Chains A and B, each alone.
Chain A
Amino acid sequence: MKKWPLITTIANDVNNSKTTAVELVEESLRLIDQNQEYGAIISVLKDKALERAKFIDSEIKSGKNMGRLAGVPFIAKDNILTIGSETTAASNILKGFIAPYQSTAIEKLESEGAICVAKANLDAFGHGGSTENSDFMVTKNPYDKTRVAGGSSGGSAASVVLGLAPFALGTDTGGSIRQPASFTGCIGLKPSYGLVSRSGVIAMASSTDVVGPLTANVSDCALVLDVIAGKDPLDSTTIDRQSGSYEDIDDNIKGRKIGLIKEYLSDSLDEEIKQAINKTTLKLKSAGAEIIEVSIPSLDYALAVYYILCSAELSSNLSRYDGQRFGYSDKTAVNLSESYFKSRAKGFGTEAKRRIMIGTYVLSSGYYDAYYRKAQLVRTKIIQDFHEVFKQVDFLIGPVTPTTAFKIGEKSDPLSMYLSDIMTVGVSLAGIPAISIPMERENGLPIGLQLMTKQRKDKELLGLARKVEELI
C-alpha cells in the first residue's frame, strides 16, 4: 500500500520541477497494474493521462504554475463522465459508452492541474453497498481479500487505501462514500447536498446524490473539496460555497457540543465498533468537547423512507436507458416497443430491475399516497428532528455502519444489504454534510467514525475531522 505525500506537497514539487507529472502518472499506472487482483479499477486512461502529464510538464518548463493539483493523479468513480473515454456506471447497459462531455467536478479538478488516470468500480448505477452488484467484478477489501470494500464507491475507496492515486472521487446517495471509506479505512466526505455540481454524474436518486472526495487525510480532503465546491450554471440545485477556503479550517473543539446519537448505539451495533466509539469519545472529551447523548427518534424510519424515495427517483432516472440514443441496444427486436423491453431486460442487472420495479410501484396511481407521499412526509419529520437536535449541539457523531466489512457473498438477500445503510441514509435525506474518518483499531478491520453537522457547515465539519485525526 503506497503512501503518497500530501497533495499540496506533490503539486508544489511538480510546479517547482522537483518531480514531473509524467513520473507521477507512470507511478500511478504501475500501481494500478500491480493491484488488478483487487478489482478496484474498470478502465485506465493511460494515453490521455500521459498526454496531459506531458503537457503539464512542458507548461511548467516554460515557467507557468499549473495549479494547486498540478500533476496529481486521481481516480474517478465510473459514474462520473470523463469526456472522450468510456463511462459505464459499472453497468452492461453503458458498456462501451463514450462520454460526450466533461463532468463539472472533473473539469474543476483538471483546471487545477489534476490528472484522471482511471475509473473506479461501483455497484452498477450506485445500487448497492458492496460493489457485488457491479455488472463487471467485485472490489476486494485491501485488508482482507475475502471481504468487500463496501459500496457503492468501493473501487474509489480501495484505490485510495491501496495508494493507486493520492485521491479519488466518489458519489454518495445513501452512504456510498462514507460506508466504503469506513470499510477500507480512508476518509470519505459526503458534502452538503448541492455543494458539488452533479453535472456529468450519472443520476441515481437526484434529491440525495452528491459528489465527494475520498482521501488519505483531512488536509487532502479539504483541498479537493475546495476545488470542486460551488455553484454551477449546469446544475440548478447547486448552492453557494461558504466564504473563504475550505482548507482554512479551525480544529479547536474546546467547549463545542457533540451529540452522540442514541439510536445508532443499539444492540445490533458490533461490540468492537461500540468500543472504538467510546474510546474516541473520551479523547474528544479530554480535548475539551462536551459530549451529550441525544435522541433522533425518527431515524428509525430513515431507511424505509430512503428506499421508497430512492427507488422512485431512480426508476425515473433510469427510464432514459431505452437503447435508442446510447448504450446497449438489442438488435433482434422487430419494433420500437420491443427494442425498449429487450434492451432494458438485457442491459440492466437484477438489482437495477428490482429497484426500478419498486420505484414504479410506489409511484403508481393508487399507491402513490401510501408510499411515495408518505415517505416525503416522514422525510420532513426526519429533517425537523435533525434541526431540533442541532439547537442543542454543534456536531453529531456515531458509527457509519453496524458492522465492519462483511464477507463477499455474505448478504445474499437485498433487504439485508439495504440494512447496512441504516446509519448513513438519515444524513442523506436531510442533505447535511457527513464524513467517515478511520478510528484506532487493534488488529481487526478498519472502523469509521461518522461526523455530521448542519447543512452548509462543511468547513466546520472538516475542522472536527482534523481534530479527530490528530487525536487518533
Chain B
Amino acid sequence: MAKLSDKEILELAKLAELELTSEELQKIPGELNSILDYVAILDKVDVKNLEPTYQVTGLNNVQRDDLKIDYKLNKEIMMSDLPDKAEDQIKVKRMIA
C-alpha cells in the first residue's frame, strides 16, 4: 500500500485538527508508515461472502420509551469545567479572524 508522504501527513494532521511539534514531525511519518505496512497483511485475507461486523451483541437500533431520563448531570460542575464563559453561556473565540 501507498507510503504516506510528509505532505500527506500534514494534510492528515489538518483533517484531524492537530498541530504537530517539530519533533513529532520528525518521528510520526516513519511510525505511521511502519504501522500501515504492518496492517497491510490484511490484503492477503479472503473476505468473499463476509459481511462487516459493526456490533458483537446482536443488539441493533436499540430503542427506548420516549420518556424523560434523568442523567443526573451536575450543572454547577459542568459550568465550572468550562474554559471560558459569559454568565451561564459557553464563550468561544470568534469564528472569523
Q: How far is the CA of A429 from the CA of B53 in the complex (A)?
A: 9
Number of interface residues, chain B, beta carbon within 8 A: 58
B53 adjacent to A380 (CB under 8 Å): yes
Q: How far is the CA of A100 from the CA of B20 in the complex (A)?
A: 31
A97 adjacent to B92 (CB under 8 Å): no
Q: How far is the CA of A414 from the CA of B37 in the complex (A)?
A: 13
A101 adjacent to B71 (CB under 8 Å): yes
B53 adjacent to A379 (CB under 8 Å): yes
Q: For chain A, residues 87 to 106, give those with C-beta under 8 angstroms from any C-beta of chain B.
A: 97-102
Q: Which residues of A contact B41 (CB under 8 A)?
A: 300-301, 304
A84 adjacent to B39 (CB under 8 Å): no
Q: How far is the CA of A236 from the CA of B95 in the complex (A)?
A: 35
B71 adjacent to A356 (CB under 8 Å): no
Q: How far is the CA of A354 from the CA of B29 in the complex (A)?
A: 9
Q: How far is the CA of A149 from the CA of B49 in the complex (A)?
A: 42
B35 adjacent to A98 (CB under 8 Å): no
Task: Say yes or no: is B7 at the interface (Cβ < 8 Å to chain A).
Answer: no
A194 adjacent to B57 (CB under 8 Å): yes
Task: Say yes or no: is A126 at the interface (Cβ < 8 Å to chain B).
Answer: no
Q: Which of A13-21, A270-278, A324-332 sits within the interface?
A: A324-332
B83 adjacent to A327 (CB under 8 Å): yes
Name the residue on B nearest A415 (C-beta). Answer: B34
Q: Which of A116-124, A213-221, A345-353, A392-400 sits within the interface?
A: A345-353
A308 adjacent to B39 (CB under 8 Å): yes
In the complex with contacts A326-B82, A341-B17, A361-B4, A380-B90 CB distance below 8 A: no
B57 adjacent to A239 (CB under 8 Å): yes
Q: How far is the CA of A307 from the CA of B32 in the complex (A)?
A: 12
Q: Which residues of B contact A377 (CB under 8 A)?
A: 45, 47, 50-53
Task: Say yes or no: is A335 at the interface (Cβ < 8 Å to chain B).
Answer: yes
Task: Say yes or no: is A470 at the interface (Cβ < 8 Å to chain B).
Answer: no
Task: Say yes or no: is B86 at the interface (Cβ < 8 Å to chain A).
Answer: no
In the complex with contacts A354-B28, A357-B16, A237-B94 CB distance below 8 A: no
A236 adjacent to B64 (CB under 8 Å): yes
Q: How far is the CA of A342 from the CA of B13 in the complex (A)?
A: 12
B83 adjacent to A326 (CB under 8 Å): yes
> Can you list 25 A-B contacts with CB-CB less than 8 angstroms, sorted by A residue number?
A84-B74, A84-B77, A98-B77, A100-B73, A193-B56, A207-B54, A233-B64, A237-B55, A237-B59, A301-B42, A304-B41, A307-B35, A329-B83, A333-B93, A335-B96, A338-B93, A341-B19, A350-B27, A358-B35, A359-B16, A364-B12, A375-B42, A377-B53, A378-B42, A415-B38
Chain B residues in contact with chain A, CB under 8 A? Answer: 1, 4, 9, 12-13, 15-21, 24, 27-28, 31-32, 34-36, 38-42, 45, 47, 50-57, 59, 62, 64, 69, 71-75, 77-78, 80-84, 90, 92-97
